[in-house]
Amino acid sequence: MRAAFALALIAPLAACDPALIGADRATVTVAGRNVTIVAPPGFCVDPAATNVSASGAFVMASDCALLGSGRPLAEGDAAPVGAVLTASVSAAERDGPGSLEELQRFAETAQGRAVLSRSGRGDRVRILAARSRNDVLYLLIEDRGPQPIAGIEPRFWRAFLDVSGRMTVLSVLGFEGAGVDPTQGLALIQRFADRVQAANRGAGA
């Protein structure tokens, strides 16, 4: 559990072509398992930022308009907020049955906070809120360490879920000044997780 938790947070460095990329989705093959990542309405997968390696897969999605996609929103869909979405899938097998409670307890340790940190500085990380819903753990994280991308809001939501036997971590990363508050962020990441679960239902153990 802990190994998969750590590996799923690290974007693969060596890239190759994913199995399939559509406007709002990418199907990647990770250690022999197919995992489909489906973005919420209004977000499109960025092919240039989708990587697959021996350690896992990384998928990024952003506002379709920014990627030049003309995919319209369906009636009732909310327009994208100022955020990018990411998904990391670990190639590691689960090292135990685990549970959302165990995962949350690990995340709250010094080692877990270091893993959650975008800079490896666990002392700059706080877990502000935790939610569990439909076999998904949601953590609201504050990371005051150095940021890999300028302008990213230090507070962000992450979701942890098992997809086809692979630990998958989803994130909603808002831009400073874009007005992505915690309530918006939670609603968005829950919608993201729901779509990923629906797309992979019945695929693998």
In this model, does residue 92 exceed pLDDT 60?
A: yes
Residue pLDDT, tens place only, 20-48: 777 889 999 988 889 999 999 889 998 88
Range with the poorest average pLDDT among 132-136, 140-144, 145-149: 145-149
pLDDT of residue 73: 44
Cα–Cα distance measured from residue 136 to residue 126, given in angstroms and rounded to the nearest whole number: 20
Range with the poorest average pLDDT among 15-19, 57-61, 96-100, 150-154: 15-19
Six token digits for residue 151: 């302008």
pLDDT of residue 96: 52
Cα–Cα distance measured from residue 117 to residue 124, given in angstroms and rounded to the nearest whole number: 8
Compute how many other C-beta atoms are within 10 angstroms of the C-beta atom of residue 148.
10
Higher per-residue confidence, 189 vs 15: 189
Most distant CA pair in the chain: distance in Å? 45
pLDDT of residue 75: 45
In this model, does residue 126 exceed pLDDT 90?
A: yes
Mean pLDDT in residue range 36-62? 90
pLDDT of residue 174: 87
Compute how many other C-beta atoms are within 10 angstroms of the C-beta atom of residue 72.
10
Range with the poorest average pLDDT among 70-74, 77-81, 193-197: 70-74
